[in-house]
Amino acid sequence: MYTILLIDTDECYCADVYSDAQIVKLFAMESDIPRKMKPGGMSQHRFAQIRDNSIVLWFKDINEKLKTLESREITLGISHVYQARFMSYLSTYNKQKIKERKPIECANLAGIYDMINRLERDK
């Protein structure tokens, strides 16, 4: 069994994968990070600041959720753009759980299947 955690700015999906290919969802979360600036709204600088703060809160929420998981080895799938930043918001306890990091395309069940295939190929 291994645990996969996938994160992007839209959603987060964490699941245990067993040797018989059974997938058990541990948790899934959706973010409220603003996607696009709307015309006639705030300045671009203000929008970027709000988006940046939302990303920080998103990463902190995921960190809190990971604290509830039993100690385990986790394979993290995250865009290289956000990887260092996400790791900076993890507690030391949660950092110790991350055994390997890989880039991802999406952070949902389809992303879990994609990660399983990549992990099996890399063996």
Whole-structure pTM value: 0.90
Range of the domain at 12: 2-122
* Residue 96 to residues 36, 62, 103, Cα–Cα distance (Å): 35, 15, 19
Q: Domain count of the chain?
A: 1
Q: How many residues does the chain have?
A: 123
Q: How confident is the model at residue 113 (pLDDT cuts 50, 70, 90)?
A: very high
pLDDT of 81-97, one tens digit each?
A: 999 999 999 999 999 99
Q: How confident is the model at residue 35 (pLDDT cuts 50, 70, 90)?
A: confident
Task: Supply the CATH number for residue 83's domain.
Answer: 3.30.420.60
Radius of gyration for the alpha carbons in the chain, expressed in angstroms and rounded? 15
